[in-house]
Amino acid sequence: MKLTYPICSLALLAALISTGCDRAASDKAAQGAPAGPPVIQVVAVNAEKRPVKEALSLVGTLAANESVEIKSEIDGVIQEILFKEGDTVKKGQLLVRLDETRLSASLTEAEANFALSKANFERSKALLKGELISKQEYDQTVANYQGNEATVAIKKRELKDTRIYAPFDAVASSRNVSPGQVISKNSIITYLVDIDPVKAEFNVPERFLGQLQPGQRVEVNVAAFPGRMFGGSVFFVSPFIAPDTRTALVKARLPNESRELKPGMFANLELELALRDNAIVIPEAAISQIREGNRGMVYVIDDKSTVQLRAVTLGVRMPRFVEVVDGLKEGEQIVVEGVQKLGPGAKVKPAPPASAEPYLWEKPAADAAKR
């Protein structure tokens, strides 16, 4: 009996050890081989080709297309004012008529003197031919005739100047005179302003002059109409540089049929320097690092769902988007969300398409219809 107990105990212990080893081996088999790196879910979009405008932001002033002070060329009394303040007037339209009584009488007198001198002139020619008068007397008659002829021409012009006409189509400003008022030739009667189109005048720094030429697009914003852009085109580039500012004066015309734009307004301008119709564009959120100003890094997803960090050259920056001049091709997939968790060679899984909608250049048609 004393020998039987230890043998049984040893057998039981061996059985327990065997069971434990089998269980550990079973657990290890259930776990399988060591797990690989985790797959990271990211938001990704494709690099797209879009039109990109390279523009220069400037400030300037609006000016009238044409503007003139309306004055009389002679002294006189205003008899009639034939326009109203703010009226649109046409070229050649009569604006003001001065009293012409005195000038009309003066012209009649001059014409009478001219008629007499003409008769004397004709008579003198016949007398000179018959050698009945001297050459000196004849010359005096000719001079008198020509002088009276000139006087008539002057009086006719003065009489014509009693009527003041519009020199071009324009809008009449406020008038500074009234009927019956005596005015001199320096008195300003009113201003005529042509504001369709208007001109935008601005100065461009010297370093951009090589990119300027007539016909370039300009967009203008004024404080009176926030959020609205008025388009026009360049028609004049100054042939010289201002030595004090090292800038050149540039002018653009803007259609203004509604007359909303007024001369003298301060203008914020965008001058189009270049337009690239097929530029590669990506969301700005995709740029993970900026180097040397125009260099950046993006994560590109390859055909094995692996990301690689790639250097790109950046161009024009736009709201939410940036142009890629070099380093990407159209259609390549780039990461816009989740870059903080990534490293070169990481495995990724793109999130559902709806997650990428905030980063798209254009909203999907269905989404746009809902809105």
Provide the CATH number for the domain around residue 321: 2.40.420.20
pLDDT at 353: 87
| 29 in any annotated domain | no
Residue 249 lies in a domain: yes
- Whether the CB-CB separation of 175 and 189 falls below 8 Å is answered with yes
Residue-level pLDDT at 342 = 85
Residues 60 and 208 both lie in one domain: yes
Q: Are residues 177 and 209 in the same domain?
A: no
Residue 125: what pLDDT?
Answer: 85
Largest CA distance in the chain: 193
Q: Could you tell me if 266 and 289 lie in one domain?
A: no
Residue 337 forms beta bridges with which residues? 43
Q: How far apart are CA 362 and CA 138, in angstroms?
A: 93
In this prediction the pTM is: 0.66
Q: In 145-229, where do the E strands start and end? A: 163-165, 170-172, 182-183, 188-205, 217-222
pLDDT value at residue 33: 46
User: Are residues 241 and 202 part of one domain?
Assistant: yes
Say yes or no: 231 and 271 in one domain: yes
pLDDT digit string, tens, across residues 343-361? 888 898 888 988 888 888 8
The per-type count for the chain, helices as H runs and strands as E runs, is: 5, 19
Distance in angstroms (rounded) separating the CA atoms of residues 142 and 134: 13
Is residue 289 pLDDT above 70, yes or no? yes
At residue 96, does pLDDT exceed 80?
yes
Q: Closest Cα partner for 161 from 190, 185, 136?
A: 185
* Per-residue pLDDT reduced to its tens digit, 291-342: 777 888 999 999 889 999 999 999 888 888 898 999 899 999 999 988 888 8
Task: Judge contact between 94 and 172, C-beta under 8 A.
Answer: no
Q: Return the structure tokens found at 310.
A: 């790639």
Q: Are residues 75 and 185 in the same domain?
A: yes
Q: Same structural domain for residues 350 and 334? A: yes
Tell me: do 163 and 110 sit in the same domain. yes
In a domain, 173, yes or no: yes
Quick check: 28 pLDDT over 60? no
Do the domain assignments include residue 22?
A: no
Whether residues 60 and 207 share a domain: the answer is yes
Q: Which two tokens stand for residue 336?
A: 């816009």
Domain that holds residue 120: 69-189
* CA-wise closest residue to 287 among 332, 324, 331: 324
Mean pLDDT of 85-100: 94
340 falls within a domain: yes
- DSSP state letter for 37: P
- One domain, residues 252 and 294: no
Among 241, 261, 276, the domain-final residue is: 276
Separation CA 262–CA 76 (nearest Å): 33
Looking at 163, 189, 215, the residue that finishes a domain is: 189
- Name every residue whose Cβ is closer than 8 Å to that of residue 89 and which is 6 or more positions away in sequence: 83, 95, 166, 169, 170, 171, 172, 192
Residue 180 belongs to a domain with what CATH number? 1.10.287.470
**Number of structural domains found in the chain:** 3
| Weakest-pLDDT range from 38-52, 68-82, 237-251, 288-302 | 288-302
Tokens 């938001």 correspond to what residue? 43
Please indicate, yes or no, whether residues 290 and 271 belong to a single structural domain of this protein: no
In a domain, 12, yes or no: no
CATH number of the domain within which 241 lies: 2.40.30.170
Specify if 9 maps to a domain.
no
Do 77 and 152 sit in the same domain of this protein? yes
Q: Does residue 21 lie in a domain region?
A: no
The whole-chain average pLDDT of the chain stands at 85
Which pair of structure tokens corresponds to residue 206? 């010297």
Residue 358 CA to chain centroid, in angstroms?
A: 28
Between CA 199 and CA 237 the distance in angstroms is: 13
Last residue of a domain, one of 248, 276, 304: 276
